[in-house]
Structure 1
Amino acid sequence: MSMSIKPQVSSQPPPPPPPPPKAETLLDLWRSAWLPLTGAALAAGALGFYIFGTVAASLKVCPCSGSCEHSTPTGRPPALDGDNAEQFDKELNLPEWWMGITGLRKRLAARATGHVLELAMGTGRNLEYYNWEPLNERVSEAKGGKQAKAGADTPRGITSFTGLDISVDMLDVARKRLVKTVPPMKSSSPIVRASNMTDHTGGQLSFLDDQLRLIHSDAHHPLPGPSSPSTKYDTVIQTFGLCSVSDPVTVLTNLASAVKPGSGRIILLEHGKGWYGIVNGLLDKNANKHFEKYGCWWNRDIQGIVEEAALKTPGLEVVKVERPNILQMGTLVWVELRVSEKDRS
């Protein structure tokens, strides 16, 4: 006789299902997202405020009305004359600080060493940032002052300086800046040299035994060499010059002829077309207004101009092209060039 065994059934009830997730309220969502949302809003607001400030600083009401006399840049801002050159210079302080140009001028000046040529120096807005110590020491030694220690490292900085511009009014403002910036200048009387057809200059002021010169000339013409026995410059600097000349490729070729092959450097800080089409469209739209006041075309393709000059000029090489200050959206262009020793020997 077989017996069947019934399975035992548990008397415990099954566990209750988990409670449904609590629906997030608007407050919960805000608490979890407030930091990224707030950060994004602040960033967007700051960017918008920055762009507005940049445009407002760049597009001030122009004293020129209608079309200006020169559609081709001459290097002379139409709004500038002998009576307002200093005021014109002061009006650049806020826009340059706002756009980060002041800091870039300091960076540029720190690279100036040895025999220095500055093209399109304008009112001398770079002068106060240069290291003049080597020049000051040379002047002191020439006057019988304290001699430099034998074997001491020569400080990086300027040993001689030549500044060139096409505007006499701007050069006069630069001269006043030099007196405040270079201590020996206060007791130095300038030697005035008249215009010279052989070196294509319109006259010059020479200070400190020709170690510091301000020359009235056009960058399209052959450039004067250093006053020292050296025939080439160690550093050639130009800020916002390619936008203000009629033939920027020719100017770059001239710079290449003036710099020392191999170790010498050409350093440019320029403005022109940026990364984005919308920005370039705004530059194009307002180019005439900007030209009427500042005498430059701020919508040129600076990188394209530099690359064209490198192709056409024997030995000229592009060392670096960068676009500093991301908030300027690529419209500021830093360029470094050199000349090959092989091709210029």
Structure 2
Amino acid sequence: MAKLPKPSKALSSKPTIPTRRALPLHKQTPRTQSHTEPSSRITNPTPQEAWKKVWSARPKLSDVQRLSDEELRSAQHQAKLRRWRQWPMFGVGLVAFGMGMYGVMLYASLTRDVDPKDLPQDLSDRFDKEAEGYDEKVDMSETLLFLTSKRKQLTKKAKGHVLEVAVGTGRNIPYYNTKQCATVTLLDSSGPMLAVAKRKWNDTHKEYFSRVFFKQQSAIEPIIPPYGAQDGYDTVIQTMGLCSTPEPVKLLQNIEASTKEDGQILLLEHGKSHYDWLNNMLDKSAPAHADEHGCWWNKDIGKIVEESGLEVVDIKRYNFGTTWWLELKPRKGIRQRLAETVVEVQPSTAHSDSPVTQKPWWSLWR
């Protein structure tokens, strides 16, 4: 039988402890990866995921039925119940506080006697005084009436050359999709209100500032579209504007005259309700409300639109019918008829070949 060769003397007979590098790969202890993992793997949960986690952790009836009396009285179980109850209670308290404040303001308006004869026809000075604190003043009421989401939906429809009438402090500005707007013209008769809107636009859409125009004028006066929109605006928006103008029908007709024939006119207004009892409250409190805020909130919006002659595409009403969502469009051929009217009313001393007598007011820059 062959003998096995003896091991070499150069090799030590004592067992050696291999270093970390000498260990086989499958036996090496993995290094801590918390500092080496890319930061992209650490993601914050979305609001939907966070809500699902809270919902899954709620105490369930089946769990309570399986718990003993001692477990039900345990501090851990009671703490779990308190955590689950605090959010609904907080929400109910917030809604109750908001409704209480709104009720107090409504009661103050109803109990305050103001003679409509003592009010001036032009109440624009109210907006000049309230410009800086206007947003804080109306935030609560608009939140309770769910108007913020409606402003967002309405403004997202704006496209092409856009005109917003009675822009105020620019409460719709954050919701503009500037990628689908060629130009945006923001118009208001109040200089202080327009200054707030200008700051808000600069903070929200600074990169689009070169294609926005701010005009301080009444919407009852002729509105000249910017260069490139000689045929009129593609979209006209107005939110809560008919209530503050003494001539709402004339305002709508003036808007129609500055809109393209295939353009859209989008309105979000407040006015009369479906119900007589609520209309009686609005009528009684309207003078006091107008004296304080410059807004007559009891106007019949449907009648105003009907008298204006604009074509109705869609009407929706919310909040007992006091909130009006209207999608309108200009009448066919209205711009041509207006142009002919302008020609007919020119003074007899004007020359027949004058370009002013042959073109409407919105075409003077051509």
TM class by smaller structure: 0.5 to 0.7
User: Equivalent of 2:315, from 281, 298, 321?
Assistant: 321
The question of 1:176 aligning with 2:163 is answered no
CA distance in 1, matches of 2:138, 2:312: 30
CA contact (8 A) 1:73 1:244 kept: no
Q: Is 1:78 matched up with 2:126?
A: yes
1:118 is paired with a residue whose SS is: strand
Deviation, 1:72, is 4.7
Shift of 1:115: 0.6
CA 223–55 in structure 1, closer or farther in 2 if over 3 Å, else same: farther
Cα deviation, residue 304, structure 1: 0.5
Tell me if the contact between 1:321 and 1:334 (Cα under 8 Å) persists in the aligned partners. Answer: yes
The answer on 1:266 being equivalent to 2:265 is yes
**Are residues 1:165 and 2:188 paired?**
yes
Flag as ranges the 4+ runs of structure 1 deviating above 3 A.
Answer: 47-62, 64-70, 340-345
Change beyond 3 A, Cα 1:281–1:260: same
TM-score after normalising by structure 1: 0.64
Unaligned stretches of 5+ in structure 2? 1-94, 337-366
Change (3 A) 1:166 1:329: same
Q: CA deviation at 1:87?
A: 1.2
Q: Which has the higher contact order (CA 8 A, sep 6+)?
A: 1
Q: In 2, are the aligned partners of 1:118 and 1:237 still within 8 Å (CA)?
A: yes
Q: Distance in 1 between matches of 2:252 and 2:127?
A: 26
- In structure 2, the CA distance between the partners of 1:322 and 1:169, relative to structure 1 (3 Å rule), is same
SS in 1 for 2:289: helix
Pair 1:123 & 2:169 matched: yes
Out of 121, 140, 155, the position equivalent to 1:109 is 155
Q: Relative to structure 1, is the Cα distance of residues 229 and 290 closer, same or farther in structure 2, using a 3 angstrom cutoff?
A: closer
Quick check: 2:162–2:235 contact (8 Å CA) kept in 1?
A: yes
The one-letter code of the counterpart of 1:214 is F
- Closer, same or farther: CA 56–159 of 1 in aligned 2, 3 Å: farther
> What is the total number of aligned residue pairs between the two structures?
242
Are 1:76 and 1:166, in contact at CA under 8 Å, matched by a contact in 2?
A: yes
Distance in 1 of aligned mates of 2:108 and 2:193: 21
CA shift in 2, pair 1:272/1:77, >3 Å: farther
Cα distance, 1:230 vs. partner?
3.7
Name the structure 1 match of 2:321.
Answer: 330
Give the residue type in structure 1 aligned to 2:288: K
Cα separation, 2, equivalents of 1:72 and 1:169: 20
Higher helix share: 2
Aligned twin of 2:297: 298
3-state SS of paired residue (1:297): coil
Cα distance in 2 for partners of 1:107, 1:170 equals 23
TM-score by length of 2: 0.60
* 1:273, distance to aligned residue in structure 2 (A): 0.5
Q: 1:165 to 1:340 in 2, by over 3 A?
A: same
Residues 49 and 303 from structure 1, CA distance in 2 versus in 1: closer, same or farther, beyond 3 angstroms?
farther
Q: Percent identity?
A: 37
1:237 counterpart SS class = strand
Question: Which residue of structure 1 aligns with residue 245 of structure 2?
Answer: 245
Cα distance, 1:341 vs. partner? 3.6
Q: CA deviation at 1:78?
A: 2.2
Contact 2:183 2:212 in 1 (8 A): yes
For 1:156-189, what per-residue CA distance to the aligned partner results, in whole angstroms no more than 9, with x for missing partners? Answer: x32210011000010011011011111326xxxx
Query: Aligned pair in 2 of structure 1 residues 280, 66: CA closer, same or farther (>3 Å)?
Result: closer
Moved more, 71-80 or 50-59: 50-59
